[in-house]
Amino acid sequence: MMSKSLVSLVLIGGLLAGCGPAETVEQAAAPAALAPADSNIACDTVAGITPVCGFHNPEDLAVVPGGEFLLVSEMGAFMSDEPNTLSLLDIANSQRAPLQINWASTEPRWGDAACIAPDAEKFSPHGIDLMTRADGRHQVLVVNHGNEQIEFFELVAAGAESHLDWKGCAKPGNDAFMNDVASLHDGGFFVTHMWNRSTPFETVVAQLTAGEKVGWVWEWQAASGFTKLPGSDEMMPNGITVSQDNTKLFINIYMANKTIKVDRLTGEVEGEVAVRSPDNVVIDADGNLWIASHLNDPIDGRCEDGQPGPCLLEFQVVKANSVDMSSEVALHHKGEPMGYATVALPHNGRLYLGSAHGDRVASIELK
């Protein structure tokens, strides 16, 4: 997710004009203006999309082992680093459930042994990833803007009694401003770096307007720490995921309107798909990529941070084949009951949608 004011200025510079998939399949929807978030919009099913309310900016989602819950990253206002939390979506009961975090250090530690525990009061989650480690423990990685580092958690008793134990962290330093994280089987991870955190905002706007590649991808390994993925310099890398065999990376380049396939070892780009303003990307068990894509006009229709209710900005979900990168538009929606999807997660025959602006997670039946 990125600041609307930044998108507006870059669009004025002409970077995104005319870019995006050539064809769309529009999902029927009740008429609704593209307007700021509205607290009066009911939490009812519209156009087959069913919301669950009570969240605050549910920007990223992951399936909890067992399949009865989703892990939800509730993000603060973008670039504010305001604190927020992680929670659960109880699928059967269609409601938000709190998720307790135990911040006391537990053994064995994960991550970088030298990394300092964060200030729990400043915890500001963004991108998340959940995997089951070789020892059977469930690991959750979280981009934490409160300390601008990756937090390692263990998800214990996955289900209604779930809680998180803080297990460690890894801090890139290097002026990082991160977005999304992807776990690796060997204990490492990849994380996207949008741009240098200390760079004045006006300078970032000017750089992106000029087409400069101000971001890249970090790889972290316990033995080597953070290293830059060769050839990964791009115009604001956003969502990231890895193939099941951990040999290929799939990276959303928000300001270049594309999702790229990268060989992990060489850094070579092996393919790409055109996607308008791609946010998060999810890979399913069949190797399909599910890419949340923003279609809003950032000048005439914007959702301001901090407003209650859902953001109704137009979006689409692009489904792509991770082998040949062929793609189709799986969902195109505008209006109630939800817009501005930042993540699209397939699970048990439904597609779950989160948003960086608003009070709800929504889902629609996959056909």
Angle between helix 201-209 and helix 4-12 axes, rounded to 10 deg: 40
CATH architecture assignment, domain 4-365: 6 Propeller (2.120)
196 vs 201: CA distance, rounded Å: 10
Domain extents in the chain: 4-365
Q: How would you list the strands of the sheet with 278-283, edge to edge?
A: 278-283, 288-294, 315-321, 327-333
Residues 6 or more apart whose CB falls under 8 angstroms from that of 363 comprise: 49, 50, 52, 350, 351, 352, 353
What's the pLDDT score for residue 24? 35
Nearest to 46 by CA among 58, 32, 34, 35: 32
The rounded distance, in Å, linking the Cα atoms of 30 and 221 is 48
Which pLDDT band, with edges at 50, 70 and 90, does 215 fall under? very high
Q: Provide the pLDDT confidence category of residue 49 given band limits of 50, 70 and 90.
A: very high
Under 8 Å between Cβ of 69 and 89? yes
User: pLDDT tens across 270-285, in order?
Assistant: 999 999 999 999 999 9
pLDDT digits (tens, 9 = 90+) for 105-157: 888 999 999 999 999 999 999 999 999 999 999 999 999 999 999 999 999 98
What pLDDT sits at residue 209? 83
Q: What average pLDDT does this structure show over 211-220?
A: 95
Confidence of residue 298 (pLDDT cuts 50, 70, 90): very low
Q: How far apart are CA 200 and CA 162, in angstroms?
A: 41
Closest to 292 in 3D by CA, of 247, 356, 232: 356
- pTM, two decimals, is 0.90
* pLDDT mean across residues, the chain: 88
pLDDT digits (tens, 9 = 90+) for 224-254: 999 999 999 999 999 999 999 999 999 999 9
Taking residues 328-338, report their average pLDDT. Answer: 97
Confidence of residue 202 (pLDDT cuts 50, 70, 90): confident
Contact 278, 253 (CB under 8 A): yes
Look at 323 and 200; give whichever has higher pLDDT. 323
Q: What is the DSSP string of 109-167?
A: PEE-TTPPPP-GGG--EEEEEEEE-TTSPEEEEEEETTTTEEEEEEEES-STT-EEEEE
pLDDT at site 174: 87
Whether the pLDDT of residue 17 is over 60: the answer is: no
**299: pLDDT strictly greater than 80:** no
pLDDT, greater one: 176 or 26: 176
Least confident piece of the model among 58-67, 102-111, 134-143, 336-345 = 102-111
E strands, 209-340, where? 216-221, 225-228, 237-242, 248-253, 258-263, 269-274, 278-283, 288-294, 315-321, 327-333
Per-residue pLDDT band at 206 (split at 50, 70, 90) = confident
> b/e for 55-87, b at 16 or more Cβ within 10 A?
bbbbbbbbbbeeebbbbbbbbbbbbebbbbbbb
pLDDT tens, 33-48? Answer: 334 445 689 999 999 9
Amino acid at 61: L
Q: For residue 8, what pLDDT is reported? A: 40
Q: Measured between alpha carbons, how far is 270 from 248 in angstroms, rounded to an integer?
A: 9
**Tens digits of residue pLDDT in 308-327:** 789 999 999 999 999 999 99
Q: DSSP labels for 231-242?
A: T--BS-EEEEEE
Q: For a pLDDT cut of 70, what percent of the chain falls above it?
A: 88
